[in-house]
Amino acid sequence: MHTRLLSAGLLAIALSAAALPAVAQRTDAQSSDFADARRFSYQDGEHLYRAICQGCHMPEGQGAQGAGAYPALAANPNLEAAAYPIHMVVNGQKAMPSFGYLSDAQVAAVVGYIRTHFGNGFAEPVTAEEVKDTRITP
């Protein structure tokens, strides 16, 4: 694990390891955060959003603008069809990396969270089944 943190050349290997079913031992964390070096351990949508998505899409889903931009998730009509955000999380797009190593349930939880927060009112639940189908036909 330590070697990969240093070598760009090894990152691809590390990422493919991360894409496998979790082999790393789940460790107790010193805090409620940072449970595992290879994957995100949270299961609920809000925790997943706070640990991953808000790094780019920001705490209120407002997005950000620099030399390039991170799109806002707040009040975003593109989230109405759940398949779209599911696809983005599973496959990534352009500079956004894939988070395909999240479980189907984790993807469903975080997509469900953004569709029902930040001014988005798409209450229809997102299921792990839908995520599974997205993985099969990207």
Give me the residues that bind other proteins (CB under 8 A), please. 1-12, 14-16, 18, 27, 30-31, 33-34, 36-40, 50-56, 58-59, 64-70, 92-98
Q: By the 8 A CB rule, do 108 and 131 touch?
A: yes
Minimum distance, C-beta of residue 91 to other proteins, in the bound complex (Å) = 10
Exposed/middle/buried for residue 124 (C-beta within 10 Å: 0-12, 13-18, 19+): exposed
Do residues 26 and 40 touch, judged by C-beta distance below 8 A? no
Nearer to other proteins, 20 or 64 (CB): 64
SS3 29: coil
| Distance of closest approach, residue 13 Cβ to other proteins, in angstroms | 10
**Residue placing its CB nearer to other proteins in the complex, 85 or 122:** 85
CB of 53 to other proteins, least distance (A): 8
Q: Which is nearer to other proteins, 14 or 128 (CB)?
A: 14
Minimal CA–CA distance to 25: which of 41, 3, 8?
41
CB of 15 to other proteins, least distance (A): 7
Task: Compare residues 34 and 121 and give the one whose CB is closer to other proteins.
Answer: 34
Exposed, middle or buried, 109 (CB in 10 Å: 0-12/13-18/19+)? buried
